[in-house]
C-alpha cells in the first residue's frame, strides 16, 4: 500500500523521474500524491495534490522544476481523510519524509513533540516522523544520526525515505515490515530508493532489497553509491539482483486497461507457470497441510484444498492470515504450512508465517516476487510466473497460484487443455456487455457453486464487489436455504456456477429454489450439460452460458476467466475505473 520513490542525481531534472515513477506506482495507492525536492538554492519545496497522479503531474509541469534530489509518494489513506494536508511528503524544519506503513506509537510521540513546541497540520501518523527527525537535529545530531535515532523510537511497520535541505547530497531510507529497494542508474549518475521494482523499471537495472531493520544511505560523490546498515549499525552487503521489470510490463500494450491486458494473459501465464515449475517438494511426507493467505490468495488456497485432499489424500486447512495470527493456533506435528501472497509482502501473511516458524514448523511460500520478504524467510519457495500485475484486482496471479497448487499434488498436467479452455473463454462469442447491463442495476448479487466451483464463486463475488461496488456474496450452493435465500427476490441476480460435474444435479436443484423465489439466474455451465438441464433453460428468469466441456480437474480455469471478464465488463458498464477501484491498493502492507 502506498508507493515511494526517491532520487539523487547529477541531473537537475529529477522531477520527471519522480512523476513517471509515481505513475507506475499508482496501482499501490491513488488517494493523493506529492513530491518534495530541493531547489537550486537548496531550499525545500513541496507539491501535493488530491486524486490521481495525473493531477500532480500537471502541477509539477507548471513549476518547471530544477532539482537534483527529491522524494515522491502516492498514498492509500490509513490515518486521516483524503486531503492535501494529509498527503505526503510531510515536512518539518527542512526535513521531508515519505512513509509506507503504520506508526503504532505516534500518539505518544506526538504528545512529546507538541510539548516541544511542534505544531501538527495533518491527521496522519507520518507527520510525527518528520518532526521527530527535526527534533533530533535541533538537539545537535547530524542528519544520519537523527534519522537512526528516530527510527529506533518508532513502533509499527514502515518504509521511510528522508531528505534534509542542509545535507543536500544524501538520501536516507529505512525498512521494517514494508518493502524497499535501492539501486543505481546503469551509468552510476543517479541513485534511487523505491517501494518496489516497478517504480525503477526504466531507471535502475540492478536492485538490492533491504531486509528487516536495514537503513540505507545513498550518497553523491564522484559516482553514486549506497551503503546499507543493519539494526546494530554495522555496514553490510545485500545481494544485488537484476531488475526484471521492463517497460513492456508496465505498458497496456494496446489494451484499454491493465486489467483487461492481464486477463488476456491468463493462458500465457498458465503456460509459463507450468513450464518453469521445477519444484520437487514431496508433500506426501506430511500428515497435514495448512494454507494461510488473504483475499484472492485465500480463495486460491480454498481451491487447492479440494485438489490436495482428493488427489494426495492429505488433510488440508485453509485459514485467513489476519485471523490465524491473532488466535492461539495448535500446531500438528509433521505439518506443512503454505503461505500464498502475490506480492510476497502481505503483512498479515508474513506475520502469520513468522508465528509458524517460531513453532518450528516447515513453511512454503507461494509468491510472485522471489525477492520478497515472505520468499526470503520461508523454508521452501515456489515462484509463480504471473509477471507484473498492475491492475489492483488480481486476475492472472490467481491463475498462476491455482495452477502451482495443482502441480504440488499432480504433476501429470495437461497444460494444452488448460490453455485451450482459458483461450476459449477469452476468444469465445460471449456477450459480456449484454450480461453486464443485465446485472449492473442489481441490489445484490449471489455467486453459488459446489465442490471446487464454490471457491471460484467466492473469487467471482470478490472481483465484482471490488470493481463494480455491487454488494456480492459467494456461497456454497447447498447452504443458501440456511439463511441467504431469505433475501432472494426479483431484484437479486445469482451467478450459478454449475459445470457438468458430479455436483451438477444438486446445483441445478439449488438454482430451482432461487427461481421459485422470483430470483434471476445466470447459469454458467458447460456444453456437455445441454441435454441435462431439465427445462431450466426455458425459464424466463434464466440466462445460460455454456463454457467448453472439460476434465473436471481443469474446470476452475475456464470458470475463473469467465468470472474475471464478467466483473470487468460490469465495472465498465457502470463507468468505473477498473484498474484503480476505490478504496483499494495492490499490496497490503498494513494491518
Among all residues, which ones are annotated catalytic?
2, 586
Q: Give every CB contact of residue 51 below 8 A, 6+ residues apart in sequence.
A: 30, 31, 32, 33
DSSP classification of residue 407: H
Paired with 159 in beta bridges are 100, 175
Going from the C-alpha of 146 to that of each of 38, 288, 390, 545, the distances in angstroms are 19, 49, 36, 63
Would you state the cell numbers that stand for residue 300, as one nine-digit string? Answer: 486460491
CA angle 133, 121, 111 (to 5 degrees): 60
Kindly state the cell numbers that stand for 581.
477501484
Q: In the sheet that 170-176 helps form, which strands lie side by side, from edge to edge? A: 90-92, 95-103, 156-164, 170-176, 215-220, 224-229, 235-236
Measured CA angle at 219 (ends 232, 5), to 5 deg: 90
User: Coil, strand or helix: which one is 287?
Assistant: coil
At 504, give phi and psi (nearest 5°): -55, -55
Q: What DSSP line would sit under 14-29, residue for residue?
A: HHHHHHHHHHHHGGG-
Helix 555-573 and helix 432-439, axial crossing angle in degrees, nearest 10: 60
| 61-95 core/surface letters (b: 16 or more CB in 10 A; e: else) | eeeebebbbbbbbbbbbbebeeeebbbbbbbbbbb
Q: What distances in angstroms separate CA 248 from CA 122, 133, 300, 504, one per listed residue?
A: 38, 39, 27, 42
Amino acid at each position: 500500500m502506498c508507493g515511494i520513490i526517491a532520487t539523487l542525481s547529477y541531473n537537475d531534472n529529477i522531477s520527471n523521474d519522480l512523476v513517471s515513477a509515481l505513475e507506475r506506482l499508482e496501482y499501490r495507492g491513488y488517494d493523493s500524491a506529492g513530491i518534495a525536492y530541493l531547489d537550486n538554492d537548496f531550499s525545500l519545496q513541496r507539491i501535493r495534490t488530491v486524486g490521481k497522479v495525473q493531477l500532480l503531474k500537471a502541477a509539477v509541469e507548471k513549476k518547471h522544476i530544477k532539482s537534483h534530489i527529491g522524494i515522491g509518494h502516492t498514498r492509500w489513506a490509513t490515518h486521516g481523510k483524503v486531503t492535501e494536508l494529509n498527503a505526503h511528503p510531510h515536512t518539518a524544519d527542512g526535513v521531508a519524509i515519505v512513509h509506507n506503513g503504520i506508526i503504532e506509537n505516534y500518539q505518544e510521540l506526538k504528545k512529546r513533540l507538541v510539548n516541544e513546541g511542534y505544531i501538527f497540520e495533518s491527521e496522519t501518523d507520518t507527520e510525527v516522523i518528520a518532526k521527530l527527525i527535526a527534533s533530533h537535529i535541533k538537539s545537535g545530531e547530524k542528519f544520519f544520526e537523527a534519522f537512526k535515532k528516530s527510527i529506533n523510537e518508532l513502533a509499527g511497520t514502515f518504509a521511510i525515505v528522508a531528505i534534509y535541505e542542509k545535507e543536500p547530497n544524501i538520501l536516507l531510507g529505512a525498512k521494517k515490515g514494508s518493502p524497499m529497494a535501492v539501486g543505481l542508474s546503469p551509468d552510476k549518475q543517479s541513485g534511487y530508493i523505491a517501494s518496489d521494482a516497478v517504480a525503477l523499471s526504466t531507471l535502475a537495472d540492478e536492485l538490492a532489497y533491504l531486509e528487516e531493520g536495514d537503513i540505507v544511505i545513498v550518497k553523491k560523490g564522484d559516482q553514486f553509491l549506497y551503503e546499507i546498515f543493519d539494526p546494530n549499525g554495522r555496514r553490510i552487503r545485500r545481494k544485488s539482483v537484476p531488475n526484471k521489470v521492463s517497460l513492456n510490463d508496465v505498458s497496456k500494450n494496446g489494451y484499454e486497461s491493465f486489467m483487461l491486458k492481464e486477463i488476456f494473459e491468463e493462458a500465457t501465464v498458465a503456460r509459463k507457470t507450468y513450464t518453469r515449475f521445477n519444484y520437487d517438494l514431496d508433500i506426501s511426507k506430511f500428515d497435514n497441510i495448512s494454507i494461510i493467505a488473504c483475499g484472492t490468495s485465500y480463495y486460491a488456497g480454498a481451491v487447492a484444498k479440494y485438489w490436495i485432499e482428493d488427489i494426495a489424500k492429505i488433510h488440508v486447512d485453509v485459514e485467513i492470515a489476519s485471523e490465524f495470527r491473532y488466535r492461539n493456533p495448535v500446531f500438528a506435528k509433521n505439518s506443512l504450512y503454505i503461505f500464498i501472497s502475490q506480492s510476497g509482502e502481505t503483512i498479515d501473511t508474513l506475520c502469520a508465517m513468522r508465528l509458524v516458524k517460531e513453532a518450528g514448523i516447515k513453511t512454503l511460500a507461494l509468491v510472485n516476487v522471489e525477492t520478497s520478504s515472505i520468499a526470503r524467510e520461508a523454508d521452501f519457495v515456489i515462484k509463480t510466473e504471473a509477471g507484473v500485475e498492475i491492475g489492483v484486482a488480481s486476475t492472472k496471479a490467481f491463475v498462476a497460484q491455482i495452477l502451482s497448487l495443482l502441480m504440488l499434488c499432480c504433476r501429470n498436467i495437461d497444460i494444452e487443455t488448460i490453455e485451450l479452455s482459458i483461450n476459449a473463454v477469452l476468444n469465445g462469442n460471449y456477450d459480456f456487455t449484454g450480461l453486464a447491463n443485465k446485472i449492473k442495476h442489481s441490489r445484490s448479487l449471489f455467486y453459488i457453486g459446489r465442490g471446487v466451483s464454490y471457491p471460484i464463486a467466492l473469487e467471482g463475488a470478490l472481483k465484482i464487489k471490488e470493481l463494480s461496488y455491487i454488494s456480492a456474496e459467494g456461497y456454497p450452493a447447498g447452504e443458501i436455504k440456511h439463511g441467504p435465500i431469505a433475501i432472494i427476490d426479483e431484484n437479486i441476480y445469482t451467478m450459478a456456477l454449475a459445470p457438468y460435474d458430479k455436483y451438477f444435479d444438486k446445483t441445478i436443484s439449488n438454482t430451482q429454489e432461487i427461481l421459485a423465489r422470483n430470483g434471476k439466474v445466470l447459469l454458467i455451465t458447460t456444453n456437455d450439460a445441454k441435454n441435462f438441464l431439465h427445462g431450466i433453460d426455458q425459464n424466463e428468469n434464466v440466462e445460460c452460458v455454456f463454457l467448453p466441456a472439460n476434465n473436471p480437474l481443469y474446470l476452475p480455469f475456464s470458470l475463473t476467466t469467465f468470472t474475471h471478464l464478467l466483473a470487468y465488463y460490469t465495472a465498465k458498464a457502470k463507468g468505473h475505473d477498473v484498474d484503480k477501484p476505490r478504496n483499494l491498493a495492490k499490496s497490503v502492507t498494513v494491518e
